[in-house]
Amino acid sequence: MKQSLRISCMLAAAASLLAAGAAVTSPTWAKTHEIAMTAVESDVVIDGSGEKYAAWTFNGQMPGPVVRVTEGDTINFTLTNPETNKNPHAMDFHAAEIDFLKNYRAINAGETISYTFVAKKPGIFFYHCGAPPMIQHIARGMFGAIIVDPKEVKALPKADREYVLIQSEYFKNPGDVQAMFDRKFDGMMFNGGIFKYHPFVTGGGKLDTKPGERVRIYFVNAGPNEFSSFHPIGEIWDNVYESGNPANKLTGVQTYVVGPGSAATFDVVVESAGAYPLVTHSLTGALRGAIAVLLASPDAKPAPLMPMVPWKVATPQTEITPVPTQ
Ligand SMILES: [Cu+2]
């Protein structure tokens, strides 16, 4: 290559970097993620009997897929609302700091919307559909979690095991918006299931761990209305991080309240083998489905962030008999 051509290429590259703006200011660790989701109006299984629910979802699952990025990353997000749907849908990421009128607006069936944001603050954040009536779109299943890992890897103690738990209310008639306004919920779910992680309930699973492991729970309260009073029966939260931000650290916490639309990161180190039910100590919620049993055993296997999504029904049955909590 001739010297002049080489210089002009370098100048052109420098000019394009300057034009891009972000390219010259982005930190070297930052990545860009292409995240696409589809609004899917379809049935999901919500308990161990195989009970189906006419949900509205992201990607056909309740909750939607877990998104995981690192602080400083850019997310190019696209939502598609297929022509086969009947309702408008939208996407609101609590991890973003962008204009809601432009980006979180509802799109009709047959339309697509795209927007970009930088995940500037680390933590665990809620995402949800914001199409009106939002109370119904969330109650019917259009919610999920985005984890923004701190760019400083030692900002949090190393976790041996991680889970995402999302609490939400179940209304058996998905068309009864008035019941949602009146807070007349029929069940309380973790990760879209009633007693989903309760091994004494037929079809129920569990959350595995080994004694001595640091278990990190990324906890989101999708609501739409009820507060969660998150407590580990038989244990104490080693640390709680409000919104999952390492700067918001609490120590030795028995119970921590997470309001609708909020989230926190909970660390527990289970001292010995046994069962440790994670519950909302607002007991009307726990006894109607929001119990997840953390089972500590030396031979515990590795597990995904969100086990059993979609719900795998082990043995179809007709009745669920919850075991009372203490
Ligand atoms: Cu929606």
Please give the distance, rounded to the nearest whole angstrom, from the Cα atom of residue 90 to the centre of ligand 1: 6
Please give the distance, rounded to the nearest whole angstrom, from the Cα atom of residue 323 to the centre of ligand 1: 34
What predicted TM-score, i.e. pTM, was given to this entire model?
0.88
Please give the distance, rounded to the nearest whole angstrom, from the Cα atom of residue 59 to the centre of ligand 1: 12
Please give the distance, rounded to the nearest whole angstrom, from the Cα atom of residue 122 to the centre of ligand 1: 26
Please give the distance, rounded to the nearest whole angstrom, from the Cα atom of residue 302 to the centre of ligand 1: 33
CB 105 within 8 A of CB 90: yes
CB 165 within 8 A of CB 221: no
Please give the distance, rounded to the nearest whole angstrom, from the Cα atom of residue 88 to the centre of ligand 1: 6
Those residues of the chain that have pLDDT short of 50 are 1-24, 317-326
- The confidence score (pLDDT) of residue 308 equals 86
Q: For 188-215, what is each residue's pLDDT tens digit?
A: 999 999 999 999 888 899 999 999 999 9
Q: Can you state the percent helix, strand and coil of the chain, rounding each to 5? A: 15, 40, 45
Please give the distance, rounded to the nearest whole angstrom, from the Cα atom of residue 188 to the centre of ligand 1: 20
Please give the distance, rounded to the nearest whole angstrom, from the Cα atom of residue 63 to the centre of ligand 1: 13
- The confidence score (pLDDT) of residue 29 equals 76
Please give the distance, rounded to the nearest whole angstrom, from the Cα atom of residue 77 to the centre of ligand 1: 16
Please give the distance, rounded to the nearest whole angstrom, from the Cα atom of residue 114 to the centre of ligand 1: 16
- The confidence score (pLDDT) of residue 294 equals 98
Please give the distance, rounded to the nearest whole angstrom, from the Cα atom of residue 110 to the centre of ligand 1: 14
- Rounded to the nearest integer, the mean pLDDT of the chain is 90
Please give the distance, rounded to the nearest whole angstrom, from the Cα atom of residue 85 to the centre of ligand 1: 10
CB 207 within 8 A of CB 197: yes
Residues 203, 207, 208, 209: what is their CA dihedral angle, to the nearest 10 degrees? -160
- The confidence score (pLDDT) of residue 49 equals 87
Please give the distance, rounded to the nearest whole angstrom, from the Cα atom of residue 81 to the centre of ligand 1: 9
Please give the distance, rounded to the nearest whole angstrom, from the Cα atom of residue 137 to the centre of ligand 1: 5
- The confidence score (pLDDT) of residue 318 equals 47
Residue 235: phi and psi, rounded to 5, are: -145, 180
